[in-house]
Amino acid sequence: MSSDRTDTFNGKILIVDDLPDNLRLLANALQERGYEVQCAINGELALLGAVADPPELILLDLKMPEMDGFEVCRRLKANQETSEIPVIFISALEETFDKVEAFAVGGVDYITKPFQVEEVIARIEHQLTIIRAKAEIIRLNSELEQRVEQRTAELREAYVELQASEERFRLMANAAPVLLWMTDTEGNCNFLNQGWLDFTGRSLTQELDDGWVEGIHPDEAQKCSTQFRAAFEARETFKMEYRLKRADQKYVWILDTGVPRFLADGTFVGYIGACIEISDRKEAEKNLAREKAHLVAAQQVAHVGSWEYDLLNRKIWWSQETFRIFGLEPAKSETSSLPADSETLQPMSIQQFKRQIHPNDRPLYKQAIQEAIAFGKTYEFEFRIRRPNREVRLVFTKGRPICNEQGQAIALFGTVLDITERKQAEAALLETEERYRRLFNSTNDIIFVHHFNSKGMPGKFIEVNDRACQKLGYTREELLELSPAEVDIPEQESETKALVEELKIKKFHVFERVLLAKDGRRIPVENSTQVFFFKGKLTCLTISRDITERKQAESALLKSEEQFRLAFELAPIGMAIETLTGEFIQVNQALCKTLSYRSHELRNRTWLDVTYPEDLAVSLALHEKLFKGEISHFQIESRYLTKQNQIVYAVLQVAVVRDARGEPLHLLGQFLDISDRKRAEEQLIYDALHDALTGLANRNLLMERLELALKRKKRHPDYLFAVLFLDLDRFKVVNDSLGHLVGDCLLIQVANILNKVVRSTDLVARLGGDEFIILLEELRGISDATRIAERILAEVREPFLLDEREVFTTASIGIVFSSSEYQQASELLRDADIALYRAKEKGKARSQIFDREMHFRALQQLQLENDLRQALENQEFLVYYQPIVSLVTGMLTGFEALIRWQHPQRGLVSPDEFIPIAEETGLIVPIGKWVLHEACRRAKTWQEKFPRQQPLRMSINLSVQQLRETDLIAQIDEILAATQLDGSNLTLELTESMLVENVESAIALMHQLRSRKIQLSIDDFGTGYSSLSYLYRFPVNALKIDRSFVNRIGEGCTDLAVRGSNRQIVETIITLARQLGMEAIAEGVETPQQLAQLKALSCQKAQGYFFSPPLNRQSAEAILLANIRW
C-alpha cells in the first residue's frame, strides 16, 4: 500500500470498466484519497454489486462487451434500490450525441478519455458534495417541521389564554403608549386603541370607514398593502416600517408588528398589531450609515484598513480595505459572531492570515502580539505579506488590546497600512537627489531657478544648469548675476508682468519665449514653468526647450502638405479620404484602377457601395469603435466589388483624422489589393490536401473524408460505404528497370483510370508510392463495390504505353465495408491493408473483401512477432540436425543444421511459420548468428566425441539479410575461433537469388569465405533466377538439387511426362556440377525409387526422410554412435 494513502473514509465508489488497467489506475487514485472502492469488469457484475452493497457514486465506462454503459445506467435508474445513485460516464467517445445520450439515460457527468486523474477526483467530489447537501437539506426540513409543529402548539395554548384575558387587553390597550389595532377574519380593521386615534387625530368611525392604508405615505402604501395581504393569507406574523400621517399632517416613521390570532381550537379570528414610532431610530440609522460610508471611503482614500481580533473566540474581522491590501476577497463562510460593526468588517480565516505573513516575519509578528496581550500595551510593527499572486508587500500595523473589568485582554483592535510605495519612495529619495543633480546638468534643456523680489517680479537666478551656460554663452557666475528679464529679448518686456501674475495663479504654465544669448543670438524656446515655495520663499523653476528645429519644421509644413498631396495621388496602393458617413471625398488613381471606376464615379459613392455585402457587418462595427474613440485605427481583410461586380480581396486600413479638440473630421483609408495572395493561399490549401504527382487527394483529405463518413454512419446506421486499398503488383520492377520518371508516368495513368472508373461522389487518394485508396460512398450493396473493384482490375491489366513501350502490370485490392464497430479512420485503413495483403498472398491481381478472420490472423502474426523477439532472450530456439549421406559409400558425411522454435505455449513451431516473419523484421540476423554458433559448437563437440576417418561436416543456411551484414566475415571468424571448429568442416548454403542480387559483391564475399576453407553450396538450385554465365565465376563446392525436382523422378509421380522431364533436369544439374568440379547433393529423398534414380545418375550425396528426418541432439548422437550405413 502506498505510504501517502489516507486513512480518512470519504465515501464508497463503484468503478465499472472492462479494461483492468483503467480499473487499477482509478482504484489506486481513489483509495489513496480515502475512498472505499468496488470494481466491476462488466455491466452484469456492476448491477449485482450496486444492489448488494450500494455505493455513493458509480464511475461507468461506455464501451463494454455484451452490455454497454447506456444499458447499465438505464437498468440502474429503473431499479428503485439504485435509481438515486449518481452515475458519471467515462469514455473515449467524444461525439456530442454520445454525451447527450449519456445524460438522457440518467448520467450526471461525462468525462472524456484520456483523462487526468485530478479531474476525475474533482468531479467525484463535486457530485458527492451535492448528494450530501441534499441529505442535509432533507434532515433540516424534518427538523424544521418538528419545530414548527411545536411552536404551533404553543401558539394555540397562548391563544386560549389570550381569549381569557381579552377584556383585560381592551382595558390595557387604551392605556398603552403604543398604537394598537385588530382585524377580523377578512382583514378589515375592527379595533383601534385610543393611542391610535390620538396619534392620527381622527375618529374611530373615520378610521374604520377609510381603512388603515389611507394614512400611509403614498410611497409605501402599495408595498404595505401587498405585504399585509401576503402575510394575512399565509397567517404569518409580519413587521413593516412605513411613514404614517400624524394629527399635525406630518408623516412619521413607525414600526408596525402584526400577529395572527387563533382560538384554542385553532380557529383563525383575525390579526392584532402594535405600532411604535421609530423616527429617532431611522434618523440614527441614517446617520450611522452615513458615518460608516464615510469611514469606508476614508479608509479607501487613505488606504488604511482596520481589523479586530476576538481573543476569546479566536476570530478575526477585516475591513474591505484590509482585504484589498492583502489582495484577498472577503470570506463568505464565517457569518456567525460578527462584531457590532459587521457592515464594515468581514470575517477572515486565522490560518489564511498566518499564511499571508512572510515566513521570515512570522516569529516577530507573533512576539509583538504576545507582548501586547501580556502587557496590555499598544504596539506598532512593520512586516512583509505575500499576496495570492506571490507579490510581496510591506505593511505597517498598529494595534491595542481591549481588556475586560479584570484587566484581561479579550480582543485586539487596530489598523493596517500598505507602506510598500512609501518605503520604496524613501529608498528612492536618496537616489533621486543624486539623479536630479546629474539630470539637472546632463539634460539638453535649459533650466533656470529664481526667487521673486519684493516687488513680486523675478529676481536673480539662484541656480542654472550647464546647458543654460552653453546655450546662452555665459559662465555660471555670470548667469547667477542676471535675472530672467536680462536674458529676454526687449520685445517681450511688456508681456512679463501678465505672465508672472498668471503663473502665480496657475502655479504651472507652458508658453513660448525667445531668449537672448550673450552674443546676440535669438533662441526660440518652450518654457515649462512651475511656482512653489522653497525654504519659505516663492520660487520659480523654468525648463526651456530649444524649439528652433520645431519652428523650422512648422515653416516646412506647407511644403509637406504639397508633398502629401503628391504622395497620395502617386501612391502604388489605393488611398481615399472619406466623410464620417462614408462618402468618398478624394480618391487616388491606384484605388480607381483597382475598383475599375473613374475618380468622379467613386466620389458619387460611399464605401458601403463597394464593400461586399457579407463583409459589411464587421466593417461597420469597427467604424463604430473608431468613432467612439475605443480604437485609433483598424485594419481588416475584406472583399470589395469592382464596377463590373468582380470580387477583389484587399487589406483596408482606416484611421480617423481629428481636429485640435479631438473631434473627428474625416477618415483616411489605405486599400492594398491582395487578390493574388488570396489565390496563392487557395492554391496552397489545395496543395496541402492533394498529391503533387497525380493531383489525387492525399492522406490529409482522405482522413477528413473518412472521419465524416464514420460520423454519418453513426447518425444513419443504414448508410453504407467502402474503402478500397489498391497496390500495383509489379511497380518496383517498372521503377527499377525503366526508371522513376517512367514509374511516375505509370502512377499518373493509373490515377486517371481510377478517376474515370469511380463516381463523382467518390474519392480517390494516393497515400504514397504505388498505394491508392478509393472511398466509395452511398452504396446500395456490397456488389456495388466489388463491381467497381473488378472494373479497376480489368482496366489496370490493359497495357500502358510508357516511354514508347508497352508495359504490363496488375493490381491487388483490399476491400473493407463500413460497420458500426469502426470508430476511427485508421481502423478502416488497417483492415483494408490486411485484406490487400491477403489478396497478394492468394496470387495478386485480384480483390479481397476483409473479414474478421483476417484481422485475427494479423493479430496472431503480430503476437508471433512479439513472441519471436522474446524467444532469443528466453533461449527458446533449438537446432535440429538432418543427416547428409554419401550415395557412394552409404555412410554419414555430415548434417544440415535446421532451426526449430520451442514456443512456451504453442509447442514446436514450424520454420515455415516464423522464418518469413524473422526475415521481414530483421530478427533473422541475430537468429542466424545464434544458429551458426550453436551448430559449429555442436560439430566440434561431436568430432571430439565421435572421432572418424573423415571429419564430420556441418551445413548451415545463410539468409539474404546476413549476407548484407558488413561484419559477416568478422562474425564467422569470431564463431570459428570461439568453437575451435576448422573452416573446412563448415558448409554455408546460399540461394541463387541471394547471389545474383549483387554478383560482384557476392563473388568477393565468397572468395573471402573460401580463403578460410569454408565450403559453399547453392541451395535449391534450379528454382532461382540466376544466369549460368555467373555460375562458373562462383567459387562454389556443391549444388543442392531442390526437392521439387527430386520428388517427381520416382514411381510416386504418375505423370510420366513430368517424371521424365524432371529426371532430365536432375541429370542436367548433376552433369553441370560434375563439369564445374562440384558435388551434387539431392534434397527431399523419400522413397527407394528416388534413391535408385539418383544413384543411376551418379549423384554423390543426398538427404531426406528416406534416410532420416531432422533430429534433436540426442537422436543425432545415437546415429553417430550406431555408425549406420544406408
**What average pLDDT score do residues 196-221 get?**
86
Residue 407 DSSP symbol: S
- Residues 520 and 414 grouped into a single domain: no
* Residue-level pLDDT at 233: 92
**Which of 679, 707, 722 represents a domain boundary (last residue)?**
679
CA dihedral sign, ordered 975, 976, 977, 981: positive
Q: CB 607: neighbour CB atoms within 10 A?
A: 23
* Residue-level pLDDT at 334: 43
Q: Which residue type does 128 have?
A: L
- Residues 548 and 568 grouped into a single domain: no
- Residues 714 and 615 grouped into a single domain: no
| Ranges of H-type helices in 653-739 | 675-688, 699-715, 731-738
- Residues 675 and 759 grouped into a single domain: no
- What pLDDT band is residue 1061 in, cutting at 50, 70 and 90? low
* Residue-level pLDDT at 1: 40
Do strands 1101-1102 and 877-886 pair parallel, antiparallel, or not at all (unpaired)? antiparallel
- Dist. CA 280–CA 252, nearest whole Å: 10
* Residue-level pLDDT at 39: 93
Q: Which residue type does 628 have?
A: K
* Residue-level pLDDT at 333: 38
DSSP 259-278: EEEE-TT--EEEEEEEEEE-
- Dist. CA 765–CA 751, nearest whole Å: 9
**What average pLDDT score do residues 897-920 get?**
88
pTM of model > 0.75: no
- Dist. CA 127–CA 119, nearest whole Å: 13
Position with higher pLDDT, 678 vs 560: 678
* Residue-level pLDDT at 335: 41
- Dist. CA 994–CA 983, nearest whole Å: 22
**What average pLDDT score do residues 285-309 get?**
66
- Dist. CA 179–CA 196, nearest whole Å: 5
Q: Coil, strand or helix: which one is 865?
A: helix
* Residue-level pLDDT at 337: 45
Q: Which range among 103-117, 156-170, 498-512, 1011-1025 shows the weakest confidence by mean pLDDT?
A: 156-170
Of residues 977, 1037, 1039, 1035, the one with CA closest to residue 1008: 1035
CATH code of residue 488 = 3.30.450.20
- Dist. CA 122–CA 952, nearest whole Å: 75
Whether 900 and 879 have beta carbons less than 8 Å apart is answered as yes
- Residues 910 and 1031 grouped into a single domain: yes
Start-to-end CA span in the chain (Å): 69
**What average pLDDT score do residues 1008-1034 get?**
80
The answer to whether residue 878 scores a pLDDT higher than 90 is yes
Q: Coil, strand or helix: which one is 519?
A: coil
In a domain, 633, yes or no: yes
Whether 1017 and 987 have beta carbons less than 8 Å apart is answered as yes
CA distances from 1073 to 1014, 1066, 1069 (A): 18, 11, 6
CATH code of residue 908 = 3.20.20.450
Burial (Cβ within 10 Å: 0-12, 13-18, ≥19) of residue 468: buried
User: Position of cell 485594419?
Assistant: 635
- Dist. CA 1091–CA 1052, nearest whole Å: 12
Q: CB 343: neighbour CB atoms within 10 A?
A: 13
- Residues 926 and 1043 grouped into a single domain: yes
The answer to whether residue 454 scores a pLDDT higher than 70 is yes
User: What domain range includes position 300?
Assistant: 283-424
* Residue-level pLDDT at 297: 59
Instruction: Give the contacts of 525 (CB within 8 A, at least 6 positions apart).
Output: 446, 512, 513, 514, 515, 544, 545, 546, 547
In a domain, 1055, yes or no: yes
In a domain, 869, yes or no: no
* Residue-level pLDDT at 558: 60
The answer to whether residue 159 scores a pLDDT higher than 90 is no
- Residues 272 and 287 grouped into a single domain: no
The answer to whether residue 996 scores a pLDDT higher than 80 is no
User: Position of cell 483592535?
Assistant: 413
- Dist. CA 8–CA 448, nearest whole Å: 77
Residue 722 DSSP symbol: E
**What average pLDDT score do residues 582-597 get?**
89
CATH code of residue 834 = 3.30.70.270
**What average pLDDT score do residues 903-925 get?**
87
- Dist. CA 746–CA 911, nearest whole Å: 38
**At 462, which helix (H) or strand (E)?**
strand 458-464
- Residues 202 and 126 grouped into a single domain: no
DSSP 866-878: HHHHHHHHHT-EE
Mean pLDDT score across all residues of the chain: 86
The answer to whether residue 8 scores a pLDDT higher than 60 is no
Total domain count for the chain? 7
- Residues 122 and 169 grouped into a single domain: no
Instruction: Give the contacts of 180 (CB within 8 A, at least 6 positions apart).
Output: 173, 191, 192, 193, 195, 196, 272, 273, 274, 275
* Residue-level pLDDT at 296: 60
In a domain, 431, yes or no: no
**At 385, which helix (H) or strand (E)?**
strand 379-386
In a domain, 769, yes or no: yes
In a domain, 95, yes or no: yes
CA distances from 1009 to 917, 939, 940, 971, 1034 (A): 28, 18, 19, 12, 12
**What average pLDDT score do residues 741-751 get?**
94
Phi, psi of 722 (to 5 degrees): -140, 150
User: Position of cell 559477416?
Assistant: 968
Of residues 1030, 914, 919, the one with CA closest to residue 964: 919
Q: Which residue type does 292 have?
A: K
The answer to whether residue 70 scores a pLDDT higher than 90 is yes
CA dihedral sign, ordered 44, 46, 48, 50: negative
Q: Furthest-apart CA pair in the chain: how many Å?
A: 154
**Which of 222, 247, 277 represents a domain boundary (last residue)?**
277
- Residues 898 and 1021 grouped into a single domain: yes
- What pLDDT band is residue 562 in, cutting at 50, 70 and 90? low
| Ranges of H-type helices in 728-773 | 731-738, 740-757
Instruction: Give the contacts of 35 (CB within 8 A, at least 6 positions apart).
Output: 9, 10, 11, 12, 13, 124
Long-range contacts of 974-982 (CB under 8 A, 24+ apart): 975/929, 975/932, 975/933, 975/936, 976/936, 976/1012, 978/933, 978/937, 979/933, 979/936, 979/937, 979/939, 979/940, 980/940, 981/936, 981/937, 981/939, 981/940, 981/943, 981/954, 982/951, 982/1013
**What average pLDDT score do residues 69-92 get?**
92
* Residue-level pLDDT at 722: 96
Q: CB 931: neighbour CB atoms within 10 A?
A: 21
- Dist. CA 968–CA 1004, nearest whole Å: 13
Q: pLDDT digit string (tens) for 329-345?
A: 876 434 444 444 444 57
Instruction: Give the contacts of 751 (CB within 8 A, at least 6 positions apart).
Output: 694, 695, 696, 764, 766, 772
The answer to whether residue 2 scores a pLDDT higher than 50 is no
Instruction: Walk across the sheet containing 345-348 and list its strands.
Output: 345-348, 315-319, 304-310, 409-418, 392-403, 379-386
In a domain, 363, yes or no: yes
**At 368, which helix (H) or strand (E)?**
helix 362-375
The answer to whether residue 409 scores a pLDDT higher than 80 is yes
**What average pLDDT score do residues 772-782 get?**
94
Q: Coil, strand or helix: which one is 5?
A: coil
**What average pLDDT score do residues 225-229 get?**
91
**At 996, which helix (H) or strand (E)?**
helix 992-996
- Dist. CA 33–CA 40, nearest whole Å: 20
* Residue-level pLDDT at 858: 64
**What average pLDDT score do residues 529-546 get?**
87
Instruction: State the cell numbers at 695.
Output: 493531383
* Residue-level pLDDT at 431: 74
The answer to whether residue 301 scores a pLDDT higher than 60 is no
What percentage of the chain has pLDDT greater than the value 70? 91
CATH code of residue 79 = 3.40.50.2300
In a domain, 865, yes or no: no
Of residues 21, 80, 17, 24, the one with CA closest to residue 54: 80
Residue 1023 DSSP symbol: S
The answer to whether residue 1093 scores a pLDDT higher than 70 is yes
- What pLDDT band is residue 4 in, cutting at 50, 70 and 90? very low
Q: Coil, strand or helix: which one is 708?
A: helix
- Residues 694 and 675 grouped into a single domain: no
CA distances from 153 to 147, 150, 237 (A): 10, 5, 16
Q: pLDDT digit string (tens) for 617-657?
A: 998 999 888 888 888 889 989 999 999 999 999 998 998 88
**What average pLDDT score do residues 1120-1126 get?**
90
The angle at the Cα of 940, spanning 935 to 946, to the nearest 5 degrees, equals 115
Length of the chain: 1126
- Residues 526 and 578 grouped into a single domain: no
* Residue-level pLDDT at 287: 62
